[in-house]
Protein backbone atom coordinates (compact mmCIF):
# COMPACT_ATOMS: atom_id res chain seq x y z
CA UNK A 1 0.00 0.00 0.00
CA UNK A 2 1.22 3.48 -0.84
CA UNK A 3 2.16 5.45 2.25
CA UNK A 4 1.21 9.00 3.06
CA UNK A 5 3.61 10.98 5.28
CA UNK A 6 2.26 13.99 7.15
CA UNK A 7 4.49 16.46 8.98
CA UNK A 8 3.61 18.84 11.79
CA UNK A 9 3.36 21.59 9.14
CA UNK A 10 0.98 19.47 7.02
CA UNK A 11 -1.24 18.99 10.09
CA UNK A 12 -1.22 22.70 10.90
CA UNK A 13 -2.24 23.56 7.34
CA UNK A 14 -5.18 21.15 7.41
CA UNK A 15 -8.82 22.18 7.66
CA UNK A 16 -9.68 22.00 11.38
CA UNK A 17 -12.52 19.48 11.20
CA UNK A 18 -10.51 17.29 8.81
CA UNK A 19 -7.57 17.33 11.24
CA UNK A 20 -9.83 16.57 14.22
CA UNK A 21 -11.19 13.46 12.47
CA UNK A 22 -7.70 12.29 11.49
CA UNK A 23 -6.06 12.89 14.88
CA UNK A 24 -8.96 11.23 16.71
CA UNK A 25 -8.40 8.12 14.57
CA UNK A 26 -4.68 7.73 15.29
CA UNK A 27 -4.70 6.05 18.71
CA UNK A 28 -6.57 2.97 17.47
CA UNK A 29 -9.84 1.43 18.64
CA UNK A 30 -11.29 3.05 21.73
CA UNK A 31 -13.65 2.01 24.49
CA UNK A 32 -17.28 3.12 24.13
CA UNK A 33 -18.85 4.11 27.43
CA UNK A 34 -21.58 6.32 28.83
CA UNK A 35 -20.69 8.39 31.90
CA UNK A 36 -23.71 8.83 34.18
CA UNK A 37 -23.84 11.74 36.65
CA UNK A 38 -26.33 13.92 38.58
CA UNK A 39 -26.21 17.39 40.10
CA UNK A 40 -27.32 18.79 43.46
CA UNK A 41 -30.77 19.54 41.98
CA UNK A 42 -31.12 15.88 41.00
CA UNK A 43 -30.85 16.47 37.23
CA UNK A 44 -29.12 13.49 35.62
CA UNK A 45 -26.61 13.66 32.77
CA UNK A 46 -25.30 11.08 30.32
CA UNK A 47 -22.26 11.56 28.05
CA UNK A 48 -20.65 9.23 25.50
CA UNK A 49 -16.92 9.02 26.27
CA UNK A 50 -14.19 7.15 24.38
CA UNK A 51 -11.28 8.01 26.67
CA UNK A 52 -11.81 5.82 29.74
CA UNK A 53 -8.40 4.46 30.71
CA UNK A 54 -7.32 1.89 33.30
CA UNK A 55 -4.94 3.38 35.88
CA UNK A 56 -4.55 0.54 38.36
CA UNK A 57 -6.22 -2.48 39.94
CA UNK A 58 -5.10 -2.21 43.61
CA UNK A 59 -7.03 0.04 44.26
CA UNK A 60 -9.17 -0.21 41.10
CA UNK A 61 -8.87 3.20 39.40
CA UNK A 62 -10.10 4.56 36.07
CA UNK A 63 -9.69 7.98 34.50
CA UNK A 64 -11.25 9.78 31.57
CA UNK A 65 -10.58 13.00 29.71
CA UNK A 66 -12.84 16.06 29.70
CA UNK A 67 -11.95 18.47 26.91
CA UNK A 68 -12.13 22.17 27.79
CA UNK A 69 -15.26 22.61 25.67
CA UNK A 70 -18.68 23.66 26.92
CA UNK A 71 -20.21 20.40 25.81
CA UNK A 72 -18.62 18.14 28.41
CA UNK A 73 -18.70 20.66 31.26
CA UNK A 74 -21.91 19.24 32.72
CA UNK A 75 -20.22 15.90 33.39
CA UNK A 76 -17.23 17.63 35.01
CA UNK A 77 -19.36 20.00 37.10
CA UNK A 78 -21.66 17.21 38.29
CA UNK A 79 -18.77 14.99 39.40
CA UNK A 80 -17.14 17.83 41.33
CA UNK A 81 -20.52 18.58 42.93
CA UNK A 82 -21.71 15.12 43.89
CA UNK A 83 -18.44 13.09 43.91
CA UNK A 84 -19.87 10.02 42.19
CA UNK A 85 -20.25 8.78 38.61
CA UNK A 86 -20.98 5.62 36.65
CA UNK A 87 -19.27 4.03 33.63
CA UNK A 88 -21.68 2.03 31.47
CA UNK A 89 -20.64 -0.09 28.46
CA UNK A 90 -22.32 0.64 25.11
CA UNK A 91 -23.97 -2.34 23.44
CA UNK A 92 -24.51 -2.76 19.69
CA UNK A 93 -28.28 -2.45 20.19
CA UNK A 94 -28.22 1.14 21.51
CA UNK A 95 -25.30 2.77 19.69
CA UNK A 96 -27.54 5.48 18.20
CA UNK A 97 -29.01 6.45 21.59
CA UNK A 98 -25.53 6.61 23.06
CA UNK A 99 -24.09 8.71 20.20
CA UNK A 100 -27.01 11.12 20.48
CA UNK A 101 -25.83 12.12 23.99
CA UNK A 102 -23.00 14.05 22.27
CA UNK A 103 -25.48 16.71 21.07
CA UNK A 104 -25.33 20.03 22.95
CA UNK A 105 -28.30 19.84 25.31
CA UNK A 106 -28.89 22.51 27.97
CA UNK A 107 -28.02 21.46 31.53
CA UNK A 108 -31.68 21.31 32.58
CA UNK A 109 -32.31 18.49 30.08
CA UNK A 110 -31.49 14.91 31.09
CA UNK A 111 -29.91 12.99 28.23
CA UNK A 112 -31.46 9.80 29.63
CA UNK A 113 -34.91 11.04 28.73
CA UNK A 114 -34.04 12.79 25.47
CA UNK A 115 -32.09 9.91 23.93
CA UNK A 116 -34.34 7.19 25.33
CA UNK A 117 -32.16 5.35 27.83
CA UNK A 118 -33.28 4.26 31.29
CA UNK A 119 -31.73 5.45 34.57
CA UNK A 120 -31.13 2.57 36.96
CA UNK A 121 -30.25 2.89 40.65
CA UNK A 122 -28.93 0.38 43.10
CA UNK A 123 -29.62 0.97 46.77
CA UNK A 124 -26.08 1.75 47.81
CA UNK A 125 -24.92 4.08 45.06
CA UNK A 126 -26.13 7.64 44.38
CA UNK A 127 -25.30 8.15 40.65
CA UNK A 128 -27.50 6.79 37.85
CA UNK A 129 -26.49 3.68 35.89
CA UNK A 130 -27.76 2.91 32.37
CA UNK A 131 -30.20 0.00 32.58
CA UNK A 132 -29.51 -0.97 28.95
CA UNK A 133 -25.75 -1.44 29.61
CA UNK A 134 -24.69 -5.01 30.36
CA UNK A 135 -21.67 -3.78 32.32
CA UNK A 136 -22.24 -1.02 34.90
CA UNK A 137 -19.53 0.39 37.16
CA UNK A 138 -20.05 2.81 40.06
CA UNK A 139 -17.09 5.01 41.02
CA UNK A 140 -16.23 7.53 43.73
CA UNK A 141 -14.38 10.65 42.55
CA UNK A 142 -10.72 10.63 43.65
CA UNK A 143 -8.65 13.17 41.76
CA UNK A 144 -8.79 15.89 39.10
CA UNK A 145 -5.70 16.53 36.99
CA UNK A 146 -5.08 19.45 34.66
CA UNK A 147 -2.95 18.61 31.63
CA UNK A 148 -0.89 21.77 31.20
CA UNK A 149 -0.14 21.21 27.49
CA UNK A 150 -3.73 21.99 26.50
CA UNK A 151 -5.71 22.63 29.72
CA UNK A 152 -7.59 19.35 29.34
CA UNK A 153 -8.90 17.74 32.53
CA UNK A 154 -8.53 14.13 33.62
CA UNK A 155 -11.05 12.89 36.17
CA UNK A 156 -10.16 9.83 38.22
CA UNK A 157 -12.48 7.56 40.18
CA UNK A 158 -12.21 4.43 42.31
CA UNK A 159 -14.48 1.47 41.57
CA UNK A 160 -17.07 0.99 44.34
CA UNK A 161 -19.47 -1.41 42.69
CA UNK A 162 -19.67 -3.56 39.53
CA UNK A 163 -22.75 -5.08 37.87
CA UNK A 164 -21.96 -7.66 35.18
CA UNK A 165 -23.69 -10.73 33.74
CA UNK A 166 -22.46 -13.78 35.64
CA UNK A 167 -22.05 -15.79 32.43
CA UNK A 168 -19.50 -13.28 31.05
CA UNK A 169 -17.08 -13.57 33.98
CA UNK A 170 -14.49 -16.23 33.18
CA UNK A 171 -12.95 -18.50 35.85
CA UNK A 172 -9.70 -16.45 35.89
CA UNK A 173 -11.46 -13.06 36.24
CA UNK A 174 -11.39 -12.01 32.55
CA UNK A 175 -14.67 -10.48 31.44
CA UNK A 176 -15.89 -11.50 27.99
CA UNK A 177 -16.99 -8.12 26.57
CA UNK A 178 -17.61 -9.71 23.19
CA UNK A 179 -20.31 -11.94 24.67
CA UNK A 180 -22.02 -8.73 25.85
CA UNK A 181 -22.04 -7.21 22.33
CA UNK A 182 -19.97 -4.30 23.63
CA UNK A 183 -18.91 -1.98 20.80
CA UNK A 184 -15.65 -0.15 20.18
CA UNK A 185 -15.24 3.31 18.57
CA UNK A 186 -12.75 4.59 16.02
CA UNK A 187 -12.33 8.25 15.21
CA UNK A 188 -15.21 10.46 16.28
CA UNK A 189 -18.15 8.48 15.00
CA UNK A 190 -17.42 4.93 13.80
CA UNK A 191 -18.79 2.03 15.85
CA UNK A 192 -17.59 -1.56 15.53
CA UNK A 193 -18.29 -5.00 16.96
CA UNK A 194 -15.40 -7.41 17.48
CA UNK A 195 -14.30 -10.94 16.79
CA UNK A 196 -11.74 -12.56 19.12
CA UNK A 197 -8.53 -13.83 17.53
CA UNK A 198 -7.43 -15.42 20.82
CA UNK A 199 -6.19 -14.70 24.29
CA UNK A 200 -2.43 -15.15 24.69
CA UNK A 201 -0.49 -16.73 27.53
CA UNK A 202 1.55 -14.60 29.97
CA UNK A 203 4.78 -13.53 28.21
CA UNK A 204 8.13 -14.66 29.67
CA UNK A 205 11.56 -14.00 28.14
CA UNK A 206 12.48 -17.59 27.30
CA UNK A 207 9.12 -19.19 26.64
CA UNK A 208 6.96 -19.35 23.54
CA UNK A 209 3.50 -17.81 23.73
CA UNK A 210 0.50 -20.04 23.24
CA UNK A 211 -3.07 -19.10 22.33
CA UNK A 212 -5.76 -19.45 24.99
CA UNK A 213 -9.53 -19.82 24.68
CA UNK A 214 -11.73 -17.15 26.26
CA UNK A 215 -11.59 -19.17 29.51
CA UNK A 216 -7.86 -18.46 29.78
CA UNK A 217 -5.13 -20.72 31.11
CA UNK A 218 -6.56 -23.47 33.37
CA UNK A 219 -3.31 -23.54 35.39
CA UNK A 220 -3.98 -19.95 36.51
CA UNK A 221 -7.54 -20.38 37.83
CA UNK B 1 -28.82 -12.89 31.89
CA UNK B 2 -28.23 -13.27 35.61
CA UNK B 3 -26.29 -10.34 37.06
CA UNK B 4 -23.35 -10.50 39.41
CA UNK B 5 -22.88 -7.56 41.77
CA UNK B 6 -19.45 -6.97 43.26
CA UNK B 7 -18.78 -4.47 46.05
CA UNK B 8 -15.52 -2.79 47.03
CA UNK B 9 -15.22 -5.41 49.79
CA UNK B 10 -15.71 -8.27 47.30
CA UNK B 11 -12.93 -6.80 45.14
CA UNK B 12 -10.57 -6.45 48.10
CA UNK B 13 -11.17 -10.08 49.10
CA UNK B 14 -10.38 -11.37 45.58
CA UNK B 15 -7.19 -13.17 44.61
CA UNK B 16 -4.87 -10.47 43.25
CA UNK B 17 -4.32 -11.89 39.75
CA UNK B 18 -8.03 -12.64 39.41
CA UNK B 19 -8.86 -9.04 40.38
CA UNK B 20 -6.23 -7.65 37.98
CA UNK B 21 -7.80 -9.55 35.06
CA UNK B 22 -11.31 -8.43 36.01
CA UNK B 23 -10.46 -4.75 36.58
CA UNK B 24 -8.43 -4.59 33.36
CA UNK B 25 -11.51 -5.80 31.47
CA UNK B 26 -13.94 -3.19 32.82
CA UNK B 27 -13.12 -0.17 30.66
CA UNK B 28 -14.07 -1.91 27.41
CA UNK B 29 -12.04 -2.50 24.24
CA UNK B 30 -8.66 -0.81 24.26
CA UNK B 31 -6.22 0.35 21.60
CA UNK B 32 -3.31 -1.96 20.84
CA UNK B 33 -0.07 -0.11 20.20
CA UNK B 34 3.67 -0.58 20.42
CA UNK B 35 5.65 2.30 21.93
CA UNK B 36 9.12 2.57 20.33
CA UNK B 37 11.95 4.32 22.20
CA UNK B 38 15.76 4.44 22.40
CA UNK B 39 18.28 5.45 25.07
CA UNK B 40 21.43 7.57 24.98
CA UNK B 41 23.48 4.43 24.23
CA UNK B 42 21.33 3.77 21.17
CA UNK B 43 19.59 0.67 22.61
CA UNK B 44 16.03 0.50 21.29
CA UNK B 45 12.98 -0.59 23.29
CA UNK B 46 9.50 -1.72 22.29
CA UNK B 47 6.53 -2.08 24.66
CA UNK B 48 2.94 -3.17 24.04
CA UNK B 49 0.62 -0.53 25.54
CA UNK B 50 -3.19 -0.51 25.71
CA UNK B 51 -3.62 2.88 27.37
CA UNK B 52 -2.90 5.40 24.59
CA UNK B 53 -5.50 8.15 24.92
CA UNK B 54 -6.33 11.14 22.74
CA UNK B 55 -5.93 14.44 24.60
CA UNK B 56 -6.46 17.00 21.87
CA UNK B 57 -6.13 17.74 18.17
CA UNK B 58 -4.95 21.39 18.15
CA UNK B 59 -2.11 20.73 18.96
CA UNK B 60 -2.32 16.95 18.39
CA UNK B 61 -1.58 15.35 21.77
CA UNK B 62 -1.64 11.77 23.03
CA UNK B 63 -0.88 10.34 26.45
CA UNK B 64 -0.29 6.87 27.83
CA UNK B 65 0.04 5.34 31.28
CA UNK B 66 3.20 3.87 32.75
CA UNK B 67 2.54 1.76 35.84
CA UNK B 68 5.04 2.07 38.68
CA UNK B 69 6.39 -1.41 37.98
CA UNK B 70 9.93 -2.25 36.89
CA UNK B 71 8.72 -3.70 33.63
CA UNK B 72 7.69 -0.46 31.95
CA UNK B 73 10.46 1.67 33.43
CA UNK B 74 12.65 1.33 30.32
CA UNK B 75 10.04 3.09 28.19
CA UNK B 76 9.69 5.88 30.77
CA UNK B 77 13.45 6.29 31.26
CA UNK B 78 14.14 6.34 27.53
CA UNK B 79 11.52 9.01 26.84
CA UNK B 80 12.83 11.24 29.63
CA UNK B 81 16.37 10.74 28.25
CA UNK B 82 15.83 11.24 24.53
CA UNK B 83 12.51 13.18 24.42
CA UNK B 84 11.00 11.26 21.50
CA UNK B 85 8.87 8.15 21.03
CA UNK B 86 6.73 6.42 18.44
CA UNK B 87 3.23 4.91 18.58
CA UNK B 88 2.78 2.00 16.18
CA UNK B 89 -0.54 0.20 15.54
CA UNK B 90 -0.64 -3.57 16.04
CA UNK B 91 -1.89 -5.58 13.07
CA UNK B 92 -3.59 -8.98 13.27
CA UNK B 93 -0.56 -10.59 11.56
CA UNK B 94 1.92 -9.78 14.34
CA UNK B 95 -0.12 -9.90 17.55
CA UNK B 96 2.13 -12.61 19.07
CA UNK B 97 5.32 -10.63 18.42
CA UNK B 98 3.71 -7.55 19.95
CA UNK B 99 2.43 -9.40 23.06
CA UNK B 100 5.87 -10.95 23.60
CA UNK B 101 7.31 -7.44 24.27
CA UNK B 102 5.51 -7.58 27.65
CA UNK B 103 8.06 -10.14 28.95
CA UNK B 104 10.63 -8.77 31.42
CA UNK B 105 13.74 -8.37 29.28
CA UNK B 106 16.88 -6.68 30.67
CA UNK B 107 17.46 -3.11 29.47
CA UNK B 108 20.42 -4.13 27.29
CA UNK B 109 18.15 -6.31 25.15
CA UNK B 110 16.19 -4.71 22.31
CA UNK B 111 12.67 -6.10 22.08
CA UNK B 112 12.74 -5.44 18.33
CA UNK B 113 15.34 -8.14 17.86
CA UNK B 114 14.06 -10.60 20.48
CA UNK B 115 10.43 -10.60 19.33
CA UNK B 116 11.22 -10.36 15.62
CA UNK B 117 9.98 -6.92 14.60
CA UNK B 118 11.89 -4.48 12.39
CA UNK B 119 13.04 -1.00 13.45
CA UNK B 120 12.30 1.59 10.79
CA UNK B 121 13.68 5.13 10.71
CA UNK B 122 12.63 8.14 8.72
CA UNK B 123 15.25 10.82 8.09
CA UNK B 124 13.73 13.50 10.27
CA UNK B 125 12.78 11.56 13.39
CA UNK B 126 15.17 10.01 15.96
CA UNK B 127 13.03 7.26 17.59
CA UNK B 128 12.45 3.86 15.97
CA UNK B 129 9.15 3.03 14.25
CA UNK B 130 7.89 -0.53 13.74
CA UNK B 131 8.15 -1.39 10.04
CA UNK B 132 5.37 -4.00 10.31
CA UNK B 133 2.85 -1.41 11.65
CA UNK B 134 0.58 0.13 9.00
CA UNK B 135 0.13 3.26 11.09
CA UNK B 136 3.24 4.89 12.59
CA UNK B 137 3.22 8.10 14.62
CA UNK B 138 6.28 10.04 15.79
CA UNK B 139 5.88 12.21 18.90
CA UNK B 140 7.94 14.71 20.87
CA UNK B 141 7.73 14.39 24.67
CA UNK B 142 5.73 17.27 26.21
CA UNK B 143 4.70 16.53 29.77
CA UNK B 144 4.92 13.97 32.58
CA UNK B 145 2.10 13.75 35.10
CA UNK B 146 2.06 11.84 38.36
CA UNK B 147 -1.34 10.48 39.36
CA UNK B 148 -1.30 10.92 43.12
CA UNK B 149 -3.94 8.24 43.83
CA UNK B 150 -1.53 5.41 42.92
CA UNK B 151 1.76 7.03 41.79
CA UNK B 152 1.15 6.03 38.19
CA UNK B 153 2.77 8.19 35.49
CA UNK B 154 1.13 9.63 32.40
CA UNK B 155 3.48 10.57 29.57
CA UNK B 156 2.26 13.05 26.98
CA UNK B 157 3.62 13.70 23.50
CA UNK B 158 2.83 15.93 20.54
CA UNK B 159 2.47 14.38 17.08
CA UNK B 160 5.36 15.40 14.81
CA UNK B 161 4.95 12.96 11.94
CA UNK B 162 2.40 10.39 10.71
CA UNK B 163 2.91 7.50 8.27
CA UNK B 164 -0.32 5.90 7.06
CA UNK B 165 -1.46 4.06 3.95
CA UNK B 166 -2.99 6.60 1.57
CA UNK B 167 -5.90 4.31 0.75
CA UNK B 168 -7.04 4.25 4.41
CA UNK B 169 -7.42 8.03 4.74
CA UNK B 170 -11.03 8.97 3.94
CA UNK B 171 -11.99 12.25 2.22
CA UNK B 172 -13.11 13.80 5.54
CA UNK B 173 -9.93 12.85 7.45
CA UNK B 174 -11.23 9.68 9.16
CA UNK B 175 -8.69 6.87 9.07
CA UNK B 176 -10.09 3.40 8.36
CA UNK B 177 -8.24 1.31 10.97
CA UNK B 178 -10.31 -1.72 10.06
CA UNK B 179 -8.90 -1.69 6.51
CA UNK B 180 -5.43 -1.90 8.13
CA UNK B 181 -6.35 -5.03 10.17
CA UNK B 182 -5.61 -3.11 13.36
CA UNK B 183 -6.51 -5.15 16.44
CA UNK B 184 -8.10 -4.13 19.72
CA UNK B 185 -7.35 -5.60 23.19
CA UNK B 186 -9.65 -6.52 26.06
CA UNK B 187 -8.41 -7.35 29.51
CA UNK B 188 -4.72 -8.17 29.73
CA UNK B 189 -4.36 -10.62 26.88
CA UNK B 190 -7.33 -10.92 24.51
CA UNK B 191 -6.91 -9.65 20.94
CA UNK B 192 -9.79 -8.95 18.57
CA UNK B 193 -10.42 -7.79 15.02
CA UNK B 194 -13.43 -5.61 14.30
CA UNK B 195 -16.40 -5.25 12.00
CA UNK B 196 -17.88 -1.80 11.42
CA UNK B 197 -21.55 -1.33 12.24
CA UNK B 198 -21.55 2.18 10.76
CA UNK B 199 -20.33 5.69 11.22
CA UNK B 200 -22.95 8.06 12.61
CA UNK B 201 -23.73 11.64 11.62
CA UNK B 202 -22.83 14.55 13.89
CA UNK B 203 -25.37 14.69 16.75
CA UNK B 204 -27.57 17.78 17.14
CA UNK B 205 -30.34 18.26 19.73
CA UNK B 206 -33.29 18.37 17.32
CA UNK B 207 -32.13 16.17 14.45
CA UNK B 208 -32.25 12.44 13.94
CA UNK B 209 -28.94 10.63 13.49
CA UNK B 210 -28.30 8.84 10.24
CA UNK B 211 -25.77 6.10 9.47
CA UNK B 212 -22.79 6.96 7.28
CA UNK B 213 -20.52 4.74 5.17
CA UNK B 214 -16.80 4.66 5.99
CA UNK B 215 -16.37 7.67 3.67
CA UNK B 216 -18.44 9.79 6.04
CA UNK B 217 -20.88 12.59 5.21
CA UNK B 218 -20.22 13.97 1.68
CA UNK B 219 -21.52 17.41 2.76
CA UNK B 220 -18.63 17.64 5.24
CA UNK B 221 -15.71 16.91 2.85
Residues in chain A within 8 Å Cβ distance of B148: 143
Give the residue-averaged pLDDT of A56-72: 86
The pLDDT value given to residue B1: 62
The strand pairing partners of A144, in sequence order, are: A155
DSSP state of A122: -
The pLDDT value given to residue A123: 81
As a whole number of angstroms, the distance between CA A180 and CA A198 comes to 17
Query: Where do the structural domains in chain B lie, given as residue ranges?
Result: 29-220
Considering only CB atoms, A143 lies closest to which of B26, B148, B160, namely: B148
As a whole number of angstroms, the distance between CA B77 and CA B123 comes to 24
The pLDDT value given to residue A71: 61
Residues A26-50 have pLDDT tens digits of 999 999 999 999 999 999 999 999 9
As a whole number of angstroms, the distance between CA A168 and CA B22 comes to 11
The pLDDT value given to residue A44: 97
Considering only CB atoms, A28 lies closest to which of B32, B156, B198, namely: B32
- Whether the CB-CB separation of A56 and B192 falls below 8 Å is answered with no
> A113 to chain B, minimum CA–CA distance in Å?
12
Residues A88-137 have pLDDT tens digits of 999 999 999 999 999 999 989 999 999 999 999 998 899 999 999 999 99
Cβ within 8 Å, pair B20-A100 = no
User: What value of ipTM does the predicted structure carry?
Assistant: 0.96
Q: Give every residue of chain B whose pLDDT is below 70, as ranges.
A: 1, 69-72
Helix (H, G, I), strand (E, B) or coil at B45: strand
* Residue A199, H or E segment: strand A190-200
Residues in chain B within 8 Å Cβ distance of A1: 134, 165-168
Residues A172-207 have pLDDT tens digits of 999 999 999 999 999 999 999 999 999 999 999 999
> B41 to chain A, minimum CA–CA distance in Å?
22
> B40 to chain A, minimum CA–CA distance in Å?
24
As a whole number of angstroms, the distance between CA A217 and CA B190 comes to 12
**Which residues make Cβ contacts (< 8 Å) with residue A14, sequence separation at least 6?**
A22, B173
> A214 to chain B, minimum CA–CA distance in Å?
8
Nearest CA in chain A to B211: A96
Extract the runs of DSSP E, i.e. beta strands, from chain B: 3-7, 30-31, 33-38, 44-49, 53-57, 60-66, 84-89, 119-120, 129-130, 136-147, 152-165, 184-186, 190-200, 211-212
Nearest CA in chain B to A136: B26
CATH number belonging to domain A29-220: 2.30.110.10
Amino acid sequence: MKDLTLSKQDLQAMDQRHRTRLINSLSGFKSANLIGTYDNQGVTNLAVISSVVHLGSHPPLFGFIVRPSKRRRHTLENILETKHFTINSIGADFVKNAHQTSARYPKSVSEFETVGLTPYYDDDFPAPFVLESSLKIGLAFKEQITIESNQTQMLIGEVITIHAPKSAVMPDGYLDLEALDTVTVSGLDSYHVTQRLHRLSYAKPDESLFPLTREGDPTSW
